[in-house]
A and B are shown apart, each in its own frame.
Chain A
Amino acid sequence: MPTETAAPTVSYLEAIADALRSEMDADPDVFLIGEDVGQFGGAFKVTKGFLDRFGPGRVVDTPIAESGFTGLACGAALMGLRPVVEFQFADFISCAFDQIINNCSRHYYRTGNPIPVTFRAPFGARLRAGPTHSQSIEAYFAHVPGLKIVAPATPQDAAGLLISAIRDNNPVLYLESKYLYRRIQAPAPLSLDPVPIGSAKVVREGTRVSLLTYSVGVHQGLEAAEKLAEEGISVEVVDLRTLVPLDVATIAASVNKTSRAVVLHEDARRFGYGAEIAATVQDECFWRLDGPVVRIAGKNTPIPTSPALEDAAVPQLPEIISTLRRVATT
């Protein structure tokens, strides 16, 4: 028996499960569908216990058929239900690309009939999972009108943004970081209040340079800012939280204060989401900038498996620190 009990915490993964369970408790129209989500509790165990709690009518195990169950979810949403679709890995969402783009995301524009569906997609690298289990998918989908995209970095935002996504009357792509699932904890209990979609957050105030990032990048950015503070370099870290629609006002307020901007994401650099942020900063803050907007991003390669290769493919702390230092001091 431990003599001391550690303060209770909630992991990023538990936060997702708590939010999902809470919404399913509150709204009988919410149901879950995907591969292995029921009797197995999900490949990452996000939905462990859900089948017992909600039954097979609301926790639906499917064949391997991403396009099929995505279309099913869209049809059910059109009839007024609020499906939560789990893609086992974000990588598999490409199999449902057609349904999401051609049917789901533009249906409201075409018809005025909303499709309130949430697509949960565990994404990102750093788990040695290789080229088809490690991808970042936000750039593909950020181009699609009618779709919203959120990418929480903390347990609190993971819960609050999932609740907002489920309650939203549009299709929402919810990018959950499988790297953060068990690595990030927050003090329990979490609030189960919704976090508004479209709202970025300054997670560390600073004066010399703004780091604009999301998901894993937020934690790297906070660590880099801590190190640079020891050198007297004050870094402001902005967690975008929502990629579509982008909170331009919060970004502009930060960069207009610091006059320098660095964008950080794990996805490949070329045509990555950071290019849109950089362009937005130049639209909004050009005359206040003391230098060009700099991007830190993954290499324009598939994500390799072997640790040394993967570490070389995605942004690491030393590069982030040196880039922020260079931008802040030149």
Chain B
Amino acid sequence: MANPRTTANTRARKPKPPPVDRDLAVRMFEVMALTRAVEDRMVTMYKQGELLGSLYTGHWHEAIAVGTAAALRPTDVLAPLHRDLGVHLWRGMEPWQVMASFMGRATSPTGGRDGTLHYGRLDLNIINPVSHIPNNYPVATGAAFALRYRGTDGVAMAYCGDGSTGRGDFHEALNIAAVQRLPCVFIVENNQYSYSTPLTLTTASADFASKAVAYGIPGEKVDGIDVFAVHDAAVNAIARARAGDGPSLIEAVTMRMHGHAEHDPADYVPRELIDLWAKRDPVEETGARLVELGFLDSGGVTAVRAQARKTALEHRNKVLGMPMPEPDHEEDRVYAN
């Protein structure tokens, strides 16, 4: 039997021409570049001891987060994963707010009550995740239910990883959404590792898109490095949901290029697998595609990357001066009025 670690299919299907116009393509690239720059900056901040606890990053998940979020309307609801900083930045979260969350500052979206990647903002129609992935799969079905209940054609999109498909909430959410024909799109970010556990120990059917068959809904596998392929799949699934035809499942294949979090050297991942995927940097590839398509020249691509790094550093400098919460507020806000 072939070892999936070494035979990983890094390009799940051939890239299509971009189905988007220049403005959207450039915008997606800008947010992907910013995502990478903010996370790289936070890795430095982590190493310099500026963050609390650990740092969870989404290197090589940028195309999935941005490609899916860019296919939605601002009124649609997202329930992203901790690898999906690009979702938040696409919707308008400020990088300093993300940094403030990792630092427990009073200015973080939760006021320091929660931390790390738990920075979803409902005013941006993003549901704040908890650590118990895929808890927000069922919650997203509720957002979809409410959007339909109110008579809108809104859509909810939920994200989980390959590992969390093992939990019952994955099954229960897909089953309920399918039987209720809810306007929901489910994304599985297959990054091949669930903390230290490889796909071979996660599931006997690692073709996650095919699991959709069991729920009577469409499933599509896409190259999670190709932002245009991701976007295209999302557009189709969203259109289906909006038309009242029910949910879909999209498996986006990528690789988790850092540890589970930055404390984790991930030496359980075979070096050759990292080397294989290192050749497929989604931010680099998107920049190259834009040049190829004549949307940007190479100087333009370089400028976007440089501006993103500058922005990330500015936000880091800004957040350092922000206050910590006052302890006498600890018991506030347990109950709503």
Which B residues touch A71, using CB under 8 A? 135-139, 141-142, 169, 172-173
Question: Which of A12-20, A78-86, A133-141, A208-216 forms part of the interface with chain B?
Answer: A78-86
Most buried by B among A77, A102, A112, A145: A112
Which A residues touch B176, using CB under 8 A? 62-63, 65, 68-69, 72
Q: B146 and A81: CB pair below 8 A?
A: yes
Instruction: From known contacts A75-B142, A76-B146, A110-B128, infer whether A169 and B337 are also in contact, taking CB-CB under 8 Å.
Output: yes
- From the candidates A72, A111, A148, A169, name the one contacting B139 in the complex (CB within 8 A): A72
Which A residues touch B127, using CB under 8 A? 75, 78
Question: Which of B9-17, B106-114, B230-238, B259-267 forms part of the interface with chain A?
Answer: B106-114
Chain B: number of interface residues, binned into ranges = 35 or more
Say yes or no for A44: interface residue by CB 8 A criterion: no
Which A residues touch B110, using CB under 8 A? 110-111
Q: A79 and B142: CB pair below 8 A?
A: yes
Q: A78 and B141: CB pair below 8 A?
A: no
Q: A102 and B175: CB pair below 8 A?
A: no
Say yes or no for A154: interface residue by CB 8 A criterion: no
The docked-state distance in angstroms from the alpha carbon of A145 to that of B333 is 10
Q: A103 and B130: CB pair below 8 A?
A: yes
The docked-state distance in angstroms from the alpha carbon of A148 to that of B337 is 12
Q: B139 and A78: CB pair below 8 A?
A: yes
Instruction: From known contacts A114-B336, A170-B336, infer whether A68 and B145 are also in contact, taking CB-CB under 8 Å.
Output: no
Interface string of A161-191 (1 = CB under 8 A from B): 0000000011000000000000000000000
Q: B335 and A76: CB pair below 8 A?
A: no
- From the candidates A77, A99, A111, A148, name the one contacting B128 in the complex (CB within 8 A): A111
Say yes or no for B279: interface residue by CB 8 A criterion: no
Say yes or no for A60: interface residue by CB 8 A criterion: yes
Say yes or no for B143: interface residue by CB 8 A criterion: yes
Contact count A vs B, C-beta below 8 Å = 133
Instruction: From known contacts A63-B176, A65-B172, A67-B169, infer whether A99 and B138 are also in contact, taking CB-CB under 8 Å.
Output: yes
Say yes or no for B321: interface residue by CB 8 A criterion: no
Which A residues touch B180, using CB under 8 A? 60
The docked-state distance in angstroms from the alpha carbon of A80 to that of B179 is 23
Which A residues touch B270, using CB under 8 A? none
Q: B146 and A75: CB pair below 8 A?
A: yes
Q: B132 and A98: CB pair below 8 A?
A: yes
Which B residues touch A102, using CB under 8 A? 130-132, 135
Instruction: From known contacts A107-B128, A110-B114, infer whether A72 and B334 are also in contact, taking CB-CB under 8 Å.
Output: no
Which A residues touch B141, using CB under 8 A? 68, 71-72, 75
Which A residues touch B140, using CB under 8 A? 75
The docked-state distance in angstroms from the alpha carbon of A79 to that of B145 is 9
Say yes or no for A108: interface residue by CB 8 A criterion: yes
Instruction: From known contacts A68-B172, A68-B175, A72-B176, infer whether A108 and B128 are also in contact, taking CB-CB under 8 Å.
Output: no
Which B residues touch A108, using CB under 8 A? 333-336
Shortest distance from the beta carbon of B213 to any chain A beta carbon, whole Å: 17
Shortest distance from the beta carbon of B156 to any chain A beta carbon, whole Å: 8
Q: State which residues 266-319 of B face A: CB under 8 Å.
A: none
Shortest distance from the beta carbon of B116 to any chain A beta carbon, whole Å: 12
Instruction: From known contacts A75-B140, A170-B336, infer whether A103 and B114 are also in contact, taking CB-CB under 8 Å.
Output: no
Q: A81 and B149: CB pair below 8 A?
A: yes
Which B residues touch A73, using CB under 8 A? 142
Q: State which residues 20-49 of A face B: CB under 8 Å.
A: 31
Say yes or no for A318: interface residue by CB 8 A criterion: no
- From the candidates A67, A76, A114, A146, name the one contacting B143 in the complex (CB within 8 A): A76
Say yes or no for B77: interface residue by CB 8 A criterion: yes
The docked-state distance in angstroms from the alpha carbon of A78 to that of B120 is 13
Say yes or no for B168: interface residue by CB 8 A criterion: yes
Most buried by B among A67, A75, A170: A75
Which A residues touch B2, using CB under 8 A? none
The docked-state distance in angstroms from the alpha carbon of A67 to that of B150 is 24
Say yes or no for B147: interface residue by CB 8 A criterion: yes
Say yes or no for B83: interface residue by CB 8 A criterion: no
Q: B145 and A76: CB pair below 8 A?
A: yes
Q: A72 and B145: CB pair below 8 A?
A: yes
Q: A109 and B122: CB pair below 8 A?
A: no
Shortest distance from the beta carbon of B176 to any chain A beta carbon, whole Å: 5
The docked-state distance in angstroms from the alpha carbon of A99 to that of B172 is 12
Q: B175 and A103: CB pair below 8 A?
A: no
Q: A75 and B135: CB pair below 8 A?
A: no
Say yes or no for B118: interface residue by CB 8 A criterion: yes
Q: B142 and A77: CB pair below 8 A?
A: yes
Shortest distance from the beta carbon of A94 to any chain B beta carbon, whole Å: 13
Say yes or no for A262: interface residue by CB 8 A criterion: no
- From the candidates A67, A80, A83, A169, name the one contacting B172 in the complex (CB within 8 A): A67
Q: B149 and A31: CB pair below 8 A?
A: yes
Which B residues touch A81, using CB under 8 A? 145-146, 149
- B111: nearest chain-A partner, CB-CB: A112
- B168: nearest chain-A partner, CB-CB: A67
Say yes or no for A70: interface residue by CB 8 A criterion: yes
Which A residues touch B169, using CB under 8 A? 67-68, 71, 98-99
Q: A169 and B146: CB pair below 8 A?
A: no
Known: A108-B334, A170-B336. 20 other contacts (CB 8 A): A65-B175, A67-B138, A67-B169, A70-B138, A72-B138, A73-B142, A76-B146, A76-B149, A78-B122, A81-B146, A81-B149, A83-B142, A98-B169, A99-B169, A102-B135, A109-B333, A110-B113, A111-B120, A112-B333, A145-B334
Binding site for A on B (CB under 8 A): 77, 79, 109-111, 113-114, 118, 120, 122, 127-128, 130-132, 135-147, 149-150, 156, 168-169, 172-173, 175-176, 179-180, 333-337
A-B pairs with the 8 shortest C-beta distances?
A75-B142, A71-B138, A68-B172, A79-B146, A75-B139, A114-B336, A76-B142, A65-B172
Q: 19 A-B contacts, Cβ less than 8 Å apart?
A: A57-B149, A63-B175, A65-B172, A65-B176, A67-B168, A68-B172, A69-B172, A72-B145, A72-B173, A76-B142, A81-B145, A102-B132, A103-B132, A107-B128, A108-B336, A109-B334, A110-B113, A110-B118, A112-B111
